[in-house]
A and B are shown apart, each in its own frame.
Chain A
Amino acid sequence: EVQLVESGGGLVQPGGSLRLSCAASGFTFSNYWMHWVRQTPGKGLVWVSRINSDGSNAIYADSVKGRFTIARDNAKNTLYLQMNSLRAEDTAVYYCAREVTYKSSWYLYRWLDPWGQGTLVTVSS
Chain B
Amino acid sequence: DIQMTQSPSSLSASVGDRVTITCRASQTISSYLNWYQYKPGKAPKLLIYAASSLQSGVPSRFSGSGSGTDFTLTISSLQPEDFATYYCQQSYTTPVFGQGTKLEIK
Contact = CB atoms under 8 A, between A and B. Distances in A.
A and B together in one complex: yes
Interface of A: 4, 35, 37, 39, 43-47, 50, 59, 61, 95, 97, 100, 102, 104, 107, 109-118
A12 B16 CA distance: 45
Contacts of B97: 37, 44-47
Given A44-B97, A46-B97, A113 B91 contact: no
Main secondary structure of the interface of B (DSSP, over half): loop
Contact of B50 (A45, A102, A113, A114): A102
Given A95-B44, A110-B32, A116-B43, 6 more contacts: A100-B49, A109-B32, A110-B91, A113-B55, A115-B44, A115-B45
B94 A45 contact: no
B99 A107 contact: no
A47 B50 contact: no
17 contacts: A37-B44, A37-B95, A37-B97, A39-B44, A44-B97, A44-B98, A44-B99, A45-B38, A45-B97, A47-B94, A104-B50, A107-B50, A109-B91, A111-B50, A112-B36, A117-B41, A118-B43
Nearest to A47: B95
Contacts, number: 74
Given A37-B95, A45-B36, A102-B50, A115 B31 contact: no
Contacts of A102: 49-50
A59 B31 contact: no
Interface string B34-51: 101010011111100110
Interface string B82-101: 00010101010011111110
Given A112-B46, A112-B89, A116-B43, A39 B34 contact: no
